[in-house]
Amino acid sequence: MQATDIASVILDIISTIAPDEDLSDVKPDVRLRDQLDLDSMDFLDIVMELRKRYGVEVPEEDYPKLASLDSCVEYLGPKLADK
Protein backbone atom coordinates (compact mmCIF):
# COMPACT_ATOMS: atom_id res chain seq x y z
CA MET A 1 0.00 0.00 0.00
CA GLN A 2 1.24 3.49 -0.92
CA ALA A 3 1.43 6.46 1.48
CA THR A 4 -1.57 8.15 -0.15
CA ASP A 5 -3.55 4.92 0.12
CA ILE A 6 -2.79 4.66 3.83
CA ALA A 7 -3.97 8.22 4.40
CA SER A 8 -7.20 7.52 2.55
CA VAL A 9 -7.69 4.28 4.50
CA ILE A 10 -7.48 6.28 7.74
CA LEU A 11 -9.84 8.95 6.44
CA ASP A 12 -12.25 6.28 5.28
CA ILE A 13 -12.23 4.69 8.74
CA ILE A 14 -12.79 8.09 10.38
CA SER A 15 -15.72 8.74 8.05
CA THR A 16 -17.23 5.43 9.18
CA ILE A 17 -16.86 6.05 12.90
CA ALA A 18 -17.54 9.80 12.87
CA PRO A 19 -19.87 10.47 9.95
CA ASP A 20 -20.59 14.02 11.16
CA GLU A 21 -16.98 15.19 10.74
CA ASP A 22 -15.93 17.25 7.73
CA LEU A 23 -12.87 15.47 6.32
CA SER A 24 -12.39 17.60 3.20
CA ASP A 25 -9.48 19.60 4.59
CA VAL A 26 -7.56 17.39 7.04
CA LYS A 27 -3.94 18.55 7.26
CA PRO A 28 -1.54 15.58 7.23
CA ASP A 29 1.01 17.13 9.60
CA VAL A 30 -1.46 18.32 12.27
CA ARG A 31 -2.71 16.06 15.05
CA LEU A 32 -6.09 14.57 14.13
CA ARG A 33 -7.42 15.43 17.59
CA ASP A 34 -6.57 19.09 17.01
CA GLN A 35 -8.61 19.35 13.82
CA LEU A 36 -11.40 16.85 14.44
CA ASP A 37 -13.67 16.01 17.38
CA LEU A 38 -12.05 12.65 18.15
CA ASP A 39 -11.48 11.17 21.60
CA SER A 40 -9.83 8.05 22.94
CA MET A 41 -12.95 5.98 22.21
CA ASP A 42 -12.69 7.01 18.54
CA PHE A 43 -9.00 6.10 18.41
CA LEU A 44 -9.85 2.67 19.78
CA ASP A 45 -12.29 2.34 16.88
CA ILE A 46 -9.61 3.31 14.36
CA VAL A 47 -7.41 0.56 15.79
CA MET A 48 -10.27 -1.95 15.83
CA GLU A 49 -11.16 -1.16 12.21
CA LEU A 50 -7.52 -1.59 11.13
CA ARG A 51 -7.56 -5.01 12.75
CA LYS A 52 -10.93 -5.94 11.27
CA ARG A 53 -10.18 -4.73 7.73
CA TYR A 54 -6.45 -5.49 7.34
CA GLY A 55 -5.50 -7.76 10.24
CA VAL A 56 -3.11 -5.10 11.51
CA GLU A 57 -2.39 -5.11 15.25
CA VAL A 58 -1.69 -1.81 16.97
CA PRO A 59 -0.70 -2.38 20.61
CA GLU A 60 -2.03 0.14 23.12
CA GLU A 61 1.38 1.70 23.71
CA ASP A 62 1.57 2.57 19.99
CA TYR A 63 -1.74 4.53 19.89
CA PRO A 64 0.17 7.85 20.04
CA LYS A 65 1.78 6.92 16.71
CA LEU A 66 -1.62 7.37 15.07
CA ALA A 67 -1.75 11.05 16.09
CA SER A 68 -1.63 12.62 12.61
CA LEU A 69 -2.10 11.35 9.05
CA ASP A 70 1.67 11.68 8.47
CA SER A 71 2.48 9.66 11.58
CA CYS A 72 -0.13 7.05 10.58
CA VAL A 73 1.56 6.66 7.19
CA GLU A 74 4.98 6.34 8.80
CA TYR A 75 3.84 3.85 11.46
CA LEU A 76 1.45 1.77 9.35
CA GLY A 77 3.56 1.78 6.18
CA PRO A 78 5.59 -1.35 7.05
CA LYS A 79 2.54 -3.10 8.52
CA LEU A 80 0.44 -2.47 5.40
CA ALA A 81 3.30 -2.91 2.89
CA ASP A 82 1.99 -6.21 1.55
CA LYS A 83 -1.73 -5.47 1.86
In the complex, which residues of this chain contact other proteins (CB under 8 A)? 16-20, 37, 39, 41-42, 44-45, 48, 51-52, 55, 57, 59-60
Q: For residue 63, which of 45, 80, 81 has the smallest C-alpha distance? A: 45
CA dihedral 44, 60, 4, 18 (to 10 degrees): 10
Q: Which amino acid is at 13?
A: I
Q: Closer to other proteins by CB, 70 or 79: give it.
A: 79
Least CB distance to other proteins at residue 79 (A)? 13
Q: How far is the CB of 48 from other proteins (least distance, A)?
A: 5
Beta carbon nearer to other proteins, 42 or 80: 42
Cβ–Cβ < 8 Å for 1, 80 = yes
Nearer to other proteins, 20 or 25 (CB): 20
Local structure of 76: helix, strand or coil: helix
